Amino acid sequence: MDARIKYSVLLVGIGLIVAILPYNTAESFRLKSHDLLIKSTSDEIWLSVDQVARFMNNEDSTVQLIDLRSTEQFRECNIPGSINIPYSDLLNPFWEGTINQKQVKKIFYGNSDQTACYAWIIATGLGYENNYIMKGGLNEWFKIVMFTQFSGQKITPLENALFENRFNARKTFTQINSLPDSLKRQFFHSKRLKQSKLDGGCE
């Protein structure tokens, strides 16, 4: 038989299969449901506010904090170093480059756990890796980092380190959120300059 007829039949067959498939241009989860469920039950997806405070104090460049609240809430106060991706805008292709960074830990937070969990499941389901949730959100941040005080007589080195971490985070959070937007960028430069002077380094 002529090869052209064979190829034609093959093409018509594949064409018919393509024609009966549902047309779906929208994004769906790439992970299988069981895999996503197993990942979501892991305790490793959670980071405490103390861990996040340490990342913030160290200006850790391997971490990207993602604030899922509205732009108005973000402007009022946010954890320094975070970027604002309102949850309603999460699927905007503009943010894909931010969410799809394999080497960077993406830490989602909202005011509590609910929105961060939605975002975590969506980002992980879409196949993006290295996603985490700040447990308790900003409510927990305020409760633990901003408002806890040490009230004992003696302090252990471990407690001392914990409270120093919280104190530094609290100070940075309050200072940067009290500054006008135009000065926020200069804040970290000022902080680094001060630190280098204390360390005896050059400007």
Q: Is 17 exposed, middle or buried (0-12, 13-18, 19+ CB in 10 A)?
A: exposed
**Closest distance of CB 123 from other proteins, Å:** 10
Distance CA 74, CA 147 (A): 20
Q: What CA–CA distance (Å, rounded) separates 48 from 140?
A: 9
Instruction: Count residues near other proteins (CB under 8 A).
Output: 63
Q: How many CB atoms lie within 10 A of CB 129?
A: 14
Give how far Cα 42 sits from Cα of 119, 180, 203, Å. Answer: 16, 40, 44
- Residue choice 84, 100, 101, 177 for contact with other proteins (CB under 8 A): 177
66, 77, 99, 107: residue in contact with other proteins (rule CB under 8 A):
77
Residue closer to other proteins by CB (options 20, 158) is: 20
Q: Which stretch binds other proteins (CB under 8 A): 57-65, 100-108, 157-165, 170-178?
A: 170-178
Check residue 67 for interaction with other proteins (CB under 8 A): no
State which amino acid sits at residue 107: I
The correct pick among 60, 74, 84, 91 for binding other proteins (CB under 8 A) is: 91
Does position 32 bind other proteins by CB under 8 A? Answer: yes
